[in-house]
Amino acid sequence: MADKKIVLSRIGKAPVSVPAGVNVAISGLDVTVKGPKGSLSRTFKGVTFEQGDTEIVVHPADSSRGGKAMHGLGRSLLFNMVTGVSTGYKRELDVQGVGFRIDLKGSDLVFQVGFSHTVPYSLPAGVAGTVEGQTHLVLESCDKELVGQCAASIRAIRPPEPYKGKGIRYSDEVVRRKAGKSGGKK
């Protein structure tokens, strides 16, 4: 019986390069990454690590389908950690609408987005926010998941509507507009 060749994940095969100024400490499945932008730690499962001088190679723990899936996921999570502590991640949001605005009070954001009341939002620890011109919000963090979830939570306060485009949207988001009622059509 022929021995079946193990096919590895295309993403997982690529080594993660560690830039200068970033320290990666691997203890079994616990990984801690420290750099100029901060420190991140995570416990992995289904993968093993091989650490070299300037790069880390991720290997699957077994050859099952789940092991191959965790191989690519583990490599991507480690890459995001190394990139986050070295350069950081940024997410930008815009508020569009007449009278819509954002105010920053300490680490809390206050939104006026067409409701009868203001909507407060507390930024989680590890996320820094800056408001530019009362309608543009920039979120920055070394944790990609945290900044993405924070941006999604803020967008969910008032998602953009398709008729006038009013609401909170990502800066690079394109909102498909719909035509309104067709007046006088018979």
Domains and CATH numbers, the chain: 10-86 (3.90.930.12), 89-170 (3.90.930.12)
Beta-carbon contacts of residue 139 (< 8 Å; ≥ 6 apart): 90, 91, 92, 93, 123, 127, 128, 129, 147, 150, 151, 154
pLDDT > 90 fraction of the chain, expressed in percent and rounded: 65
- Which pLDDT tens digit goes with each residue over 94-105? 999 999 999 999
pLDDT > 70 fraction of the chain, expressed in percent and rounded: 94
The 3-state DSSP class for residue 154 equals helix
Q: Per-residue pLDDT for 2 more than 60?
A: no
Rounded Cα–Cα distance for residues 28 and 35 (Å): 21
- Which pLDDT tens digit goes with each residue over 44-63? 998 889 888 899 998 888 87
**What single-letter amino acid sits at 73?**
L
Q: Per-residue pLDDT for 19 more than 70?
A: yes
Tokens of 71: 């191989």
Q: How confident is residue 78, by pLDDT bands cut at 50, 70 and 90?
A: very high
Rounded Cα–Cα distance for residues 73 and 43 (Å): 13
**What single-letter amino acid sits at 45?**
K
